[in-house]
Amino acid sequence: MPLIWMLFGFAIAVPAGLALLLLAGRLGIRQHAYEDAPQTHRVKTGTPTMGGLVFVVAFLAVLVAGRVALLPELVALVVCCAVIGAIDDVITVRGGSKRGLRARTKFLATALVAVIFLRAIDTGSALFPADTLFHAGTFWLIVPHWLWLLLGILAITGTIHAVNLADGLDGLAAGTVMPPLFVFGLISAQSNVPAAAIAASVGVGACAGFLVFNRHPAKLFMGDTGSLALGALLAGVAILSGEMLLLVVVGGVFVAEALSVILQVAYFKATRGKRILRMSPLHHHFELGGWPETKVTARFWLASFICSLLGWTIVR
């Protein structure tokens, strides 16, 4: 795994985060606590947001550095999803405690970007055997092209919105996404997929740099600008490395977060008001159970590390 690119991502993210912290504060780009969030989150209102732009800056800086095998298609995927998130953040900031874009709108927008990305890497790409979902050793799981495209769209959109759901506590999303990115970086390096290896490395470094400002108590939030970008990055490197199916294992924490929301809503509607969890996504369930925010975040980081280690063991 290219350590130099991890350091590069960190070195870009720290000054970019500091600049965004100052700029967001002056421009009044501040977070509003959601009305249905736990009461303890009310103190977070007023914290500068849209800090996820540091990830965009880091990837654009890699392109500017030049002479690296970083696919512009992957950068475009990350940047486009960040733009969608930024639009959502701006609407939220202007609307006070009201929500931003409709969930359906964000889903359709990210699905469109996913289609464009998949079609772009699908035409003449020699990074991996076409239509690969998973490979370990001499075993390769290759599916019909139409199924690869369909699963690719689901993988990208699903990962994007699962990471978005996990962005609910200080440092939670950034810290939880680092182990999966690290593992996919290792896999990509060993599989000779430099674009994915470099992208994952830069992502890990940028997340570490962002945590300088986002660890508890957070001075800067990533907003949907960051969570959508990170979800796109995670899915993109998994697909480029030919390990799309491994996302379910390595990204197990994000799968759990997404399932907690789906099951909560379905059960609530089926029983006309009853709940499985105290609150969804899953991290809020533990919060309302009495766990301090820092404990929830630390446990989720650990769970992500274990899931990532399991994924690495599978493909070894």
Quote the pLDDT of residue 35: 59
Quote the pLDDT of residue 128: 54
Q: How many domains does the chain have?
A: 1
Rounded to whole angstroms, how far apart are CA atoms 252 and 271?
28
Rounded to whole angstroms, how far apart are CA atoms 205 and 200?
9
Amino acid residing at 161: H
- Note down pLDDT in tens along the chain; length 316 residues: 578 999 999 999 999 999 999 888 788 788 776 656 666 667 777 789 999 999 999 999 988 776 566 778 899 999 999 999 999 999 988 876 556 788 899 999 999 999 999 998 875 444 555 688 988 878 889 889 899 999 999 999 999 999 999 998 999 999 999 999 999 999 999 888 888 999 999 999 999 999 999 999 999 999 999 999 999 999 999 999 999 999 999 999 999 999 999 999 999 999 988 999 999 899 999 999 999 999 999 999 999 999 999 999 999 7
Q: With CA atoms as reference, report the closest residue to 131 among 148, 152, 151.
A: 148
Residue ranges making up the domain that contains 170: 3-315
* Residues 297 and 174 sit within 8 Å (Cβ to Cβ): no
Quote the pLDDT of residue 27: 80
Give the model confidence (pLDDT) of 1-34 as tens digits: 578 999 999 999 999 999 999 888 788 788 776 6
Rounded to whole angstroms, how far apart are CA atoms 140 and 287?
41
**CA 165 to chain CA mean position, Å:** 9
Quote the pLDDT of residue 39: 65
